[in-house]
A and B are shown apart, each in its own frame.
Chain A
Amino acid sequence: MSAVQNKPETHEPLTPAMFHVLLALAGDDLHGYAILKEVELRTGGKVRLSTGTLYGIIKRLLSDGLIAELRSRPAESEDDERRRYYRLTPAGRQVAATEAERMDEVLSIARSRNLLKRTRTA
């Protein structure tokens, strides 16, 4: 099996949902349900992923090498053996960062055009 070289700039554009999943995993290694909860929490319930959408995204991110499945499992008592944990790869981190920077640039343009009422402190 030949290793696929993952260059962030060659990827297809991230969908907002994919970006959210990457953001969720940027903090911690999470299992599927936790990703859903995290995304919902961070967006104040505005983004709710369904299982179909989530695992479609996970499959994409896995095959693009942006996330990886964890081999070692947390030894917590509540660990369900059917759960799998995912972690952001360095490539995934870079893609997420690139996307965040791109958005930041867009935001500063929007600010300079007075399109944003409140400016949040970074």
Chain B
Amino acid sequence: MAAKDSHATRFYRALLRLLPFDFRGDFGPEMETVFHEQHKEAGRRGGATGVLRLWWETIVGIFRTAPGEHLAMFAQDARFALRMMRKNPGYTLAAVLTLGLGIGANSAIFSVVNAVLLKPLPYEHGDRLVTLQQQAPRAGMLNQPFSVAEINDYRTQSHSLDGLVEYHNMNFILLGRSEPERVETGVVSWNYFEVFGVKPLFGRAFRPEDEQPGAPAVLMLSYEYWIRSFGGDPTVVNKTFTMNDKLHKVVGILPPVPQYPDENDVYMPTTACPFRSRPAFIANRQSRMMQVFGRMKPGITVSQSRADLNSIAANLQRAYPNDYPPALDYSIRTSSLEEELTHNARPTMLVLLGAAGFVLLIACANVANLNLARMVRRERELAVRAALGAGRVRMFRQLLTESSLLAVIGGGLGLLFSWGALNLLVGFAARFTPRAREIHLDSTVLLFTLAVAVLTSLLSGTAPALAARDTVVDGLKEGSAQSTIGIGRRRMRSLLIVAQVAVSFLLLIGAGLMLRSFVKLQHVDPGFQPENVLTMQIGLDFTKYNTNDKQRAFFETFLDKLQSESGVKSAAASMMVPLNGNMQMRGDFQIEGQTPVPGQVLPVADFRVVSEGYFDTLHIPLLEGRAFTRTDRPGAPDVAIVNRAAARHFWGAQDPVGKRFSTDGGKTWVQIAGVVGDVKQYGLDKDAVDEIYVPLAQSPLLDAVLVVKTTVEPTSVARGIIELLYAVDPNQPAARVRSMEQVRAESVAAPRLTSNLLSLFALLALTIAATGIGGVMALAVGQRRHEIGVRMAIGARPGEILRMILGQGMALALVGIVLGLLGALALTRVLQRLLFEVGPTDPLTFVGVAAVLSAATLLACYVPARRAARVDPIVALRVE
């Protein structure tokens, strides 16, 4: 019996642990006695049923009582904490601000990480979507598009996909509004959105009959274009608009989903594209223009799908050896769409999240330090409370309540910060991924912020709470001189300072490396002069300018008129402008005198169409031979100009001027007229590729970029040039009007913004750490006034005192810097991918950061040190 009773008692005691500590302290033993008696009686009177009933009632009773008691306890602690916070507004402000910045940095970056990297794609079948690319690595072709014949083959022969759709981009001209408007158009299979699992917001999706030749022209609006151009008016569905030569009917409006690979204004079925519809185009297996997306059958993995598609590729190579030269070794590259949409953002976002985490750690360390400092002043209060019977757990709880209140207020402030920064963040993330528009402060972000706040309160509250233990013991000791108590606490404070300096060092190194890298990027010679150049996109109406002659005539007339415009020095048209490279016209060719060996890969280069004034307008230096002239026309011998890289690569030591090559297997030959300097087409951080320029007069263009060298600020002449364009053809719009400087700035916007953000974090860390170290030294000086007074009384000079305090502060900083240095050596490797021509252990950055950090901490220590040096020994000694 006794054994059974003690079992019951033990279990009851365990049950009591659900109640708050204080409650148990007050009533626990008594409750045990009562329960013991209840238990005895229940057994006596009701037997096993009575005991069971008692247990049931007891358990329910405890579970009902516990939450309310905990809440009451928390409310009491919170009231007390708020009173303490009001009594110390300076401390409260510093702590809340520090935590707010730390938490805000984290929730802001997390909102990006969450939307871009964590959430599934907002397509219904997002996890089953893959992108397909043809590749022939030996020929340097890594992402070749597909031809109509290939799309049909892969669609019908694939076992792993239950949907395969195509996409390409073109532009239409919307007429009938105040000005003609270029409309970016995605040309897609009728079931494109069905395969993605995107349902229209209004209206309907495409149907098979929309894709029949001769079907009425229909289109769907992208959500962004609908909002931008139609103010989100749903009645636009079923309205018709004149685009190029035809009426097009709006059948549906898309929801806000990431658009990939391009941000389009509208979507049309494949039959809307006259080029894609030509019988000759459809028949030619090598007319590769379309991108392809597949939807894997449920349960199929990407690698299974890749294997399936590559076996089709192998069959096609056997069946059509002319279209897939064995030497090129064609294969299919498959990757998940999710990966495709986010892989650019991943390294940067993770680095930023790490940096934000470090900022929070510093903030926590700083608040913990503030708490410890305050503990010195609260020693008496805490000791009195302890003497009055507040248990250790009780004190711990009280201190944690204080720190969680601070963290929650800080978290609220942090959310405000990130809410304020949201638009900036979306703009920033858009440089990396089409998913940027999904960034919101949603429930996940709120939950994350709450979790961070809780973690913060634990991190910043535990140290002082632990330190409160020796206070309880030492605080009331008679005449305990302040310098003798809390040695452990002082050590903890030093440790926290060292940690702050070390982590600041890490962040400063990260920011320093990014900044150095960005500066290097800025100083890269792009191979042309971007100053005073205006650019605009002019996509000709393909129905109106449907022959080479018409296209050539348009540009010749327009460029001629432009030359005499005031403020214009020279003008040219080109397929693309440097640093804005997404349009590739890659092709192979045969060099005269080199008989192609069957099975061998031909030379490959990027072909670019430019008008005669192009090199002049962009100041691309002519190294040898001549530039294009008026005489390079149809009928005259075909000419080309190569860049220096191509000249070296294909002609070596020989002078390429006068040499010939052929792009059609030797039927016609093109003569090289000159050699120009290399230009950074694809980005300042990318090497120049082999390029062959051909004159616009000999191979006309539909969609061209106008480049204009101006004698005045380039954007100031934009309107005049557009008016001139309307004078030539009132239905011809200009789009993307930007100065070349803007193009250049945008090309480095991603690294610039990344280094700005990292610098902001680092600066934040530096400020927090420096004020932290200053605060701790100030406190130490305050506590040691007596000792300093004694030192001065026995002959120490102010200078010596100054040096002593500075020395002690700097010793801590130095330890922090050394630790930070070790950490940085281990950690900066993660930055490698984001850096340009700067090693992750760049000595200059390391030395510079160490100097900056030392200077900042020196300055932070100087203020308290000077105060120490001014201590009047008489006053200091009298105080005690």
Contacts and interface: CB of A to CB of B under 8 A. Distances in A.
Given A52-B64, A56-B65, A36 B27 contact: no
A83 B64 contact: no
Contact of B33 (A32, A50, A56, A58): A32
A108 to B, nearest CB: 33
B35 A51 contact: yes
Nearest to B26: A59
Contacts of B63: 52
Interface string B52-96: 000001101111111011000000000000000000000000000
Contacts of B852: none
B37 interface: yes
A93 interface: no
B330 to A, nearest CB: 76
Contact of B27 (A48, A49, A53, A55): A55
B29 interface: yes
Contact of A55 (B30, B38, B60, B64): B30
A80 interface: yes
A52 B37 contact: no
Contacts of A48: 57
Nearest to A49: B61
Contacts, number: 59
B650 interface: no
B778 to A, nearest CB: 36
A122 B23 CA distance: 40
Contacts of A32: 30-31, 33-34
Chain A: interface secondary structure? helix
A83 B32 CA distance: 10
A59 B65 CA distance: 11
A36 B30 contact: no
A52 B38 contact: no
Interface in A40-78: 48-56, 58-59
Interface in B16-45: 19, 23, 26-27, 29-35, 37-38
A55 B27 CA distance: 7
Contacts of A82: 29-30, 32-33
A59 B58 CA distance: 17
A52 B58 CA distance: 7
A83 B33 CA distance: 7
B273 to A, nearest CB: 76
Contacts of A84: 30
A33 B34 contact: yes
Nearest to A48: B57
A6 B35 CA distance: 31
A50 B27 contact: no
B61 to A, nearest CB: 3
A52 B34 contact: no
A51 to B, nearest CB: 5
Contact of B61 (A33, A50, A58, A80): A50
Contacts of B62: 50-52
A52 B30 contact: no
A82 B32 CA distance: 9
Nearest to A35: B34
A62 B37 CA distance: 23
Interface in A80-122: 80, 82-84
B104 to A, nearest CB: 40
Contacts of A52: 19, 31, 58, 61-66
B30 A83 contact: yes
B351 to A, nearest CB: 52
A50 B69 contact: no
A83 B29 CA distance: 9
Contact of A53 (B30, B33, B65): B65
B34 A56 contact: no
A87 B623 CA distance: 108
Contacts of B23: 55, 59
Contacts of A58: 27
A1 to B, nearest CB: 10
Contacts of A53: 61, 64-65
A50 B37 contact: no
Contact of B69 (A49, A51, A56): A56
B32 to A, nearest CB: 8
Nearest to B24: A55
A58 B23 CA distance: 11
Contacts of A59: 23, 26-27, 69
A84 B26 CA distance: 11
A5 B62 CA distance: 30
A55 B64 CA distance: 12
A58 to B, nearest CB: 7
Contacts of A33: 33-34, 37-38
Contacts of B33: 32-33, 80, 82-83
B64 A51 contact: no
Nearest to B60: A50
Contact of A51 (B38, B66, B68): B38
A59 B62 CA distance: 14
Contact of B58 (A51, A56, A80, A83): A51
A8 B582 CA distance: 81
Nearest to B22: A59
A56 B24 CA distance: 11
Contacts of B34: 32-33, 36, 51, 54
A59 B29 CA distance: 14
Nearest to A56: B65
B31 A55 contact: yes
A15 to B, nearest CB: 12
Contacts of B61: 49-54
Contacts of A80: 33
B57 A56 contact: no
A35 B26 CA distance: 18
Interface string A20-33: 00000000000011
Nearest to A1: B388
A41 to B, nearest CB: 12
A24 to B, nearest CB: 14
A59 B69 CA distance: 10
A52 B24 CA distance: 11
A80 B34 CA distance: 11
Contacts of B37: 33
Nearest to A53: B61
A72 to B, nearest CB: 17
A48 B26 CA distance: 23
Contacts of B32: 82
B71 to A, nearest CB: 12
A112 to B, nearest CB: 37
B670 to A, nearest CB: 94
A55 B62 CA distance: 10
A53 B31 CA distance: 11
Contacts of A55: 23, 27, 30-31, 65
B73 to A, nearest CB: 11
Nearest to B27: A55
A51 B23 CA distance: 13
Residue with the greatest number of chain B CB neighbours at <10 A, chosen from A48, A58, A82: A82
Residue with the greatest number of chain B CB neighbours at <10 A, chosen from A33, A51, A59, A80: A51
A82 B62 CA distance: 20
Residue with the greatest number of chain B CB neighbours at <10 A, chosen from A48, A52, A80, A84: A52
A13 B29 CA distance: 29
A53 B27 CA distance: 12
Given A52-B63, A55-B65, 16 more contacts: A32-B30, A32-B33, A33-B34, A33-B37, A50-B57, A51-B34, A51-B38, A52-B61, A54-B34, A55-B23, A56-B68, A56-B69, A59-B26, A82-B32, A83-B30, A83-B33
Interface of B: 19, 23, 26-27, 29-35, 37-38, 57-58, 60-66, 68-69
Interface of A: 32-33, 36, 48-56, 58-59, 80, 82-84
Q: Give me the 3 closest cross-chain CB pairs, A-B, nearest first.
A: A50-B61, A52-B61, A52-B62
9 contacts: A32-B30, A33-B37, A33-B38, A51-B38, A51-B61, A51-B62, A54-B61, A58-B27, A80-B33
